[in-house]
C-alpha cells in the first residue's frame, strides 16, 4: 500500500509540527486548517507564526481548508474538538488510516478518541500516536520518540515507517486502549504535580506523586483493558515523566498556577482540566481507588487547597506499596 500523501487536520502547533515531521520523512503533506491567515502564512512564507513562531517549515508542506484525497490522515485537534472535525471530514476518512493524536477523553461521553472515530466513520482504520513530545521540539527537528498503536501489526509498522525521520522515531505497538488512556490520564497527574511545584512543596513530594500516579494509572489502564507493559514505555512512563516535570507542559503550567493560589475559575485551556472529571467518573464507575484523580478534582473545583490535599494524602492509612 502506498503511503506517500499525508493530510494533517489541524493547523495548530501540534498539527504543524507533525506535518513538519512527515515532510522531513519524505512524505507529501497538506495541513487542513480553518484560519485563512494561517493557511496563507504556511503557503507563502512557510511559517505558522500564530502557533509556532518563526520556526521555518518545509517548503514541501502546503495548507488548505478542504481535505484532499491522501493515503494517511493525521487528526491533530484538541480532544474536545475531535467529534466536530471527524464529522466534518467523515466522507474523506472512509477506509483510510487515521492517526489520532489528541490526548484526552470526551467530556460528555467519556469515550476515547478511537471510539469517537469508530462511531462516526466505522470503516476508518484507527491508529493512536502518543508519547513524550512537545510541538516545538518536533518542529525544530530535535530527537523525539513516540508510540504508534494499531490493531494490525503490519499496517502499524508501515505507518510508523512512513512517518519516521532522522529526528522523529515511532515505535509500533498493539495496545491502542492502553496508549490512549495513558496519554489522556497523564494530563490529570501533570496538573497535580504542577500544583505541588507551584506550592513550593519540594522535589521529593513531586517525585512521590509521580511514582504514585504511575501506580494509579496502571490500575486504571489494566482494569479498562489496556496492558501494564504499555505503561513502562514511551506512552506511559515516558510521557508521564515529561508532563509532570516540564514547564513546557501546559497542564503542568496550569497546575503550578493552581498551586500558587490562582483561582480555578477561568482555567480551561489544558486538556487535563477537561479530562479530570471524566477520569473520576471512569474510576468511580469501575470502583477503582484513585486518590490522586480525586485530589485533582478537589483542586479544580476549588474545594481544597493543594496543602490541604497533600495533608490528606499523607494521612491516609499506611499500606504495602503496589
Name the pTM for this structure.
0.95
* Nearest partner of 255 among 212, 310, 204, 215, judged by Cα: 310
- pLDDT, residue 1, reads 63
320 found inside a domain: no
Q: In which domain, by residue range, is 146 found?
A: 5-174
Phi, psi angle pair for 126, to nearest 5°: -85, 140
Q: What is the pLDDT of residue 318?
A: 66
Residue 312 has pLDDT above 90, yes or no: no
- Tell me: do 159 and 28 sit in the same domain: yes
Q: Are residues 125 and 265 in the same domain?
A: no
Residue 114 counted as domain residue: yes
- Based on the domain organization, do 165 and 24 belong to the same domain? yes
Q: Are residues 99 and 182 in the same domain?
A: no
Q: Look up residue 68 and give its DSSP letter.
A: -
Same domain, 142 and 281: no
Same domain, 193 and 272: yes
Report the CATH number at residue 206. Answer: 1.10.1040.10
Does residue 321 lie within any of the structural domains?
no
User: For residues 120 and 109, what is the distance between their CA atoms, to the nearest angstrom?
Assistant: 13
**Model pLDDT for residues 56-89, shown as the tens digit of each residue:** 999 999 999 999 999 999 999 999 999 999 999 9
User: Which of 127, 147, 174 is the last residue before a domain boundary?
Assistant: 174
Q: State pLDDT tens for residues 209-259.
A: 999 999 999 999 999 999 999 999 999 999 999 999 999 999 999 999 999
Q: Indicate which residues carry an active-site annotation.
A: 186
Length of the chain: 322
Domain membership of residue 30 (yes or no) is yes
304: left (phi over 0), alpha (psi -120 to 50) or beta: beta
**Crossing angle of the two packed helices 176-198 and 271-286, in degrees rounded to 10:** 120
**Based on the domain organization, do 84 and 219 belong to the same domain?**
no
Both 270 and 308 in a single domain?
yes
| Claim to verify: residue 163 and residue 192 sit in the same structural domain | no
For residue 246, the tally of other CB atoms under 10 A from its CB is: 15
Amino acid at each position: 500500500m502506498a503511503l506517500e500523501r499525508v493530510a494533517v487536520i489541524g493547523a495548530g502547533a501540534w498539527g504543524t509540527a507533525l506535518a513538519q515531521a512527515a515532510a522531513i520523512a519524505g512524505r507529501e503533506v497538506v495541513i487542513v486548517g480553518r484560519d485563512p491567515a494561517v493557511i496563507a502564512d504556511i503557503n507563502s512564507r512557510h511559517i505558522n507564526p500564530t502557533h509556532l513562531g518563526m520556526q521555518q517549515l518545509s517548503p514541501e508542506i502546503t495548507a488548505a481548508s478542504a481535505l484532499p484525497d491522501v493515503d494517511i490522515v493525521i487528526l491533530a485537534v484538541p480532544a474536545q474538538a475531535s467529534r466536530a472535525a471527524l464529522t466534518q471530514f467523515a466522507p474523506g476518512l472512509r477506509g483510510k488510516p487515521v492517526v489520532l493524536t489528541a490526548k484526552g477523553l470526551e467530556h460528555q461521553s467519556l469515550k476515547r478518541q478511537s471510539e469517537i472515530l469508530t462511531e462516526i466513520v466505522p470503516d476508518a482504520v484507527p491508529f493512536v500516536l502518543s508519547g513524550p513530545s512537545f510541538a516545538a521540539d518536533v518542529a525544530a527537528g530535535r530527537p523525539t520518540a513516540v508510540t504508534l498503536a494499531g490493531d494490525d501489526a503490519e499496517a502499524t509498522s508501515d505507518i510508523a515507517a512512513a512517518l519516521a525521520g532522522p529526528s522523529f522515531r515511532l515505535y509500533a505497538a498493539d495496545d491502542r486502549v492502553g496508549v490512549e488512556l495513558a496519554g489522556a490520564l497523564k494530563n490529570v497527574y501533570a496538573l497535580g504535580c504542577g500544583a505541588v511545584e507551584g506550592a513550593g512543596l519540594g522535589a521529593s513530594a513531586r517525585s512521590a506523586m509521580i511514582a504514585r500516579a504511575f501506580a494509579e494509572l496502571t490500575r486504571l489502564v489494566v482494569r479498562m483493558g489496556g496492558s501494564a507493559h504499555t505503561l513502562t514505555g514511551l506512552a506511559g512512563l515516558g510521557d508521564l515523566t515529561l508532563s509532570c516535570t516540564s514547564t513546557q507542559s501546559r497542564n503542568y503550567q496550569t497546575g503550578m498556577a493552581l498551586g500558587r493560589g490562582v483561582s480555578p475559575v477561568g482555567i480551561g485551556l489544558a486538556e487535563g482540566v477537561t479530562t479530570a472529571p471524566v477520569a473520576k467518573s471512569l474510576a468511580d464507575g469501575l470502583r477503582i481507588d484513585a486518590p490522586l484523580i480525586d485530589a485533582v478534582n478537589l483542586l479544580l473545583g476549588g474545594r481544597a487547597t493543594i496543602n490541604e490535599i497533600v495533608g490528606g494524602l499523607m494521612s491516609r492509612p499506611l499500606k504495602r506499596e503496589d
